[in-house]
Structure 1
Amino acid sequence: MGPIDAFWHLLNLFGPAIGLGLIAPSLAKLLWRRELAAVPWRVLAQWVSGAGAGVTLAGLAVFGRDGRMATYAALVLATAAALWWRGFFRR
């Protein structure tokens, strides 16, 4: 495998985490404008993407392969937890 193939493999591995890291904070900032006004969008995106990347790696380690539905369910839960923790709980 060449370096370009390795890059695409890594991008596809972390794609759902990055995608949720971009979409979820945007929707949260739209729904809870006043409550999340003090928290920058970039901070929320970093927390969500980091949590998603960690869950993706944990799912890969536990199941031995990528793309299991349990990993995606844990990804959604980790996204919600990261948004709650950084957006509402920790100020």
Structure 2
Amino acid sequence: VGRYDADGAIYRAMQYDERELGRFALDGQIRSHGLFEGGELGWVEADGVVIQAGLILGEEEVGRVDGPEQAAAAAALLLLFLPDDAEENRRLAR
């Protein structure tokens, strides 16, 4: 599905290449590079709770991560897996 690098970039695997979706910082902050939704996306708290921040809906707990790479896992959740899940739900609703 994707990967992350030592600089905190999250990449999505595409058919012929990959695209950088956003970045995470070691303090847990996650930032999106989205065309219309770029900016601060959320963060992971010290206990592993992943928070998605939104201007309209406010802050929402969207999951929990565990292990030594919590910031990377939280970024993957917010940048890769939640958008894929939302797209699949929209597709099924049609």
Shorter chain as denominator, the TM-score bin is 0.3 to 0.5
Q: Which has the higher helix share?
A: 1
TM-score if structure 1 supplies the norm length? 0.33
Q: Which has the higher strand share?
A: 2
Taking CA–CA contacts closer than 8 Å with sequence separation of 6 or more, which of the two structures ends up with the larger relative contact order?
1
Give the number of the structure whose alpha-carbon radius of gyration is greater. Answer: 1
